[in-house]
């Protein structure tokens, strides 16, 4: 499965094509679906461009995307940095009316088990985000695998070799715990394309998009998210 991560916490100062508003995200969703992406990962924005989990902003964005790409699964980030931050954002998650299909939860954050429970109670699937082997150890020790849709092995190193080394340590921890959940492997900046290639080699899911990096495999800056999606599909062969 190829997921398109459209914007993350980036602004147009990083790349003018970063989609921010609900309408921009909806237009980008159409483009990446046509390019071959199967699912979406977005960071909802407030009117001022800041990341938000506020229910009305999330509903507006999810509705716009669903009108544009009916049936395409939509996931959102729930990072602890998103205002109002920390456990105060739990109220927003609890009050969502228009719900995403799934949401990612970073196991490196103190309240990760609580956020997973909030999402599960709300009928929202969970992507468990593991940035390193410490996150993996916490995941297998504290989280009921049945509460999760998949594991995100999210390598934050910009060095491809370091990222793949860490990813395989995470894979080993998951195997030892008999975790049979689907895995999505992705990198960041310089490790984006090594992780995409390794995901395809191992028959895993992966993701691509401006959130993770703006460069194509040849080093050129992508014109848009759809360019990145097409490049990832070409690597799959």
The pLDDT > 90 percentage for the chain reads: 99
Domain that holds residue 182: 2-236
Q: What are phi and psi of 174, to 5 degrees?
A: -65, -40
Q: Where are the alpha helices (DSSP H) in 69-108?
A: 90-94
Average pLDDT, the chain: 97
Element of type H or E holding 3: strand 2-5
Q: Residue 140: which residues within 8 A CB-CB, separation 6 or more? A: 173, 174, 176, 177, 179
Alpha-carbon distance of 191 to 186, in angstroms, equals 8
In terms of Cβ atoms closer than 10 Å to its own Cβ (0-12, 13-18, 19+), residue 226 is: buried
Contact, 186 vs 192, CB < 8 A?
Answer: yes
The model's pLDDT over 190-236, given as tens digits with 9 standing for 90+, comes to 999 999 999 999 999 999 999 999 999 999 999 999 999 999 999 99
12 pLDDT higher than 90: yes
CATH number of the domain at 33, please: 3.20.20.70
Helices 160-176 and 192-201: crossing angle in degrees, nearest 10, is 40
Give, in order, the Cα–Cα distances in Å from 145 to each of 72, 132, 169, 180: 24, 18, 19, 9
CB pairs under 8 A, 24+ apart, for 223-226? 223/17, 224/17, 224/28, 224/31, 225/4, 225/6, 225/17, 225/19, 225/28, 225/31, 225/32, 226/28, 226/31, 226/32, 226/34, 226/35
pLDDT in tens, 38-47: 999 999 999 9
Question: Average pLDDT in the 124-133 region?
Answer: 98
Note the pLDDT of residue 13. Answer: 95
pLDDT bin (cut points 50, 70, 90) of residue 237 is: confident
Q: How many domains does the chain have?
A: 1
């Amino acid at each position: 499965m190829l997921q398109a991560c459209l914007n993350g916490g980036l602004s147009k100062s990083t790349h003018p094509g970063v989609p921010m508003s609900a309408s921009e995200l909806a237009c980008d969703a159409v483009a990446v679906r046509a390019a071959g992406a199967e699912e979406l990962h977005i960071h909802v924005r407030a009117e001022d461009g800041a990341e938000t989990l506020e229910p009305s902003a999330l509903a507006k964005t999810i509705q716009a995307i669903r009108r544009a790409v009916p049936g395409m699964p939509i996931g959102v980030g729930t990072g602890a940095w998103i205002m109002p931050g920390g456990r105060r954002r739990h109220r927003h998650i609890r009050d969502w009316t228009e719900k995403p299909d799934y949401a990612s939860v970073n196991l490196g954050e103190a309240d990760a088990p609580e956020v997973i429970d909030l999402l599960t109670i709300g009928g929202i699937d969970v992507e468990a985000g593991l940035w390193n082997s410490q996150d993996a150890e916490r995941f297998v020790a504290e989280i009921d695998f049945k509460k999760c849709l998949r594991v995100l092995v999210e390598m934050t190193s910009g060095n491809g070799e370091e990222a793949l080394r860490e990813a395989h340590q995470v894979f080993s921890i998951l195997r030892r715990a008999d975790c049979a959940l689907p895995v999505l492997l992705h990198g960041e900046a310089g490790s984006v394309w090594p992780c995409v290639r390794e995901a395809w080699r191992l028959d895993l899911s992966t993701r691509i998009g401006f959130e993770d990096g703006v460069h194509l495999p040849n080093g050129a800056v992508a014109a848009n998210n759809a360019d990145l999606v097409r490049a990832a599909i070409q690597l799959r062969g």
